[in-house]
Amino acid sequence: MKTVTSIKQFRQIRKTLGTSKLGFVPTMGALHQGHISLLERSVGECDVTVLSIFLNPTQFNNPDDLKTYPITLQEDLEKAAQAGVDVVLLPEYDEIYSDNFRFQVNENNFSKQLCGAHRDGHFTGVLTIVMKLLNIVKAEKAYFGEKDYQQFQLIKDMADAFFIDAEIVGCETIREADGLAMSSRNTHLKDEARALAPVLHRLISEEASDDTVAHQLKGYGFEVDYIKTIAGRRYAAAILGQVRLIDNIRLRQ
């Protein structure tokens, strides 16, 4: 497994791959089994798999959230090697944002709803960094988890709108045994909150109205940002302790 920090060096490596089918998994690090499932799918479907680890500050609307985001680089590299990753890209901030974030990718509809209504500028940061990384890596397939389905849909739509060659592949949400969607931020849950957290997935999976689910969650002590169904998918975001949890499910017809 090769590890590179220079975009120029990565592009040199990319030229040597020729017609190899390349899969790409962009992450912010703190890899868990959800990330590993994306890497394993890429390894299974592509000739070469690239993992990027870049803690992207432009998508954090809360500076404290950025400060407390877990950093586990050595463990991440070990997990990547075990999963069969070929190249790990660890770009530097000054190279990624040599324009000082002067150029941005904005979406003016879906990104203003759900998480976008509560996290000002979040999706601008997400779409901008993903656009940059897709242009650097030039993968045939890029893999994203469906836990943040709004993010996945926005990235997929962006790739279509800008004629990006990479196929944006959505992968099933990986859950703990008790149903909690895996997330790097779950490590911040204290014991009592961690025991309660699976209630979010359980309640949004029930055949009840969005308002009913929100009311029930508040009764358990969640601070609800939203419970909203759009096009047959129920989206949820709620704060438990100091941790913001998101989830979504496809509702039964």
Is 188 known to be catalytic? no
Choose the catalytic residue: 32, 35, 122, 201. 35
Concatenating the DSSP letter of every residue in the chain gives -EEE--HHHHHHHHHHTTT--EEEEEE-S---HHHHHHHHHHHHH-SEEEEEE---GGG-S-HHHHHHS---HHHHHHHHHHHT-SEEE---HHHHTTTTT-S----SSGGGSTHHHHSTTHHHHHHHHHHHHHHHH--SEEEEESTTHHHHHHHHHHHHHTT-SSEEEEEPPPB-TTSPBP-GGGGG--HHHHHHTTHHHHHHTSSS-HHHHHHHHHHHT-EEEEEEEETTEEEEEEEETTEEEEEEEEPP-
Catalytic site positions? 35
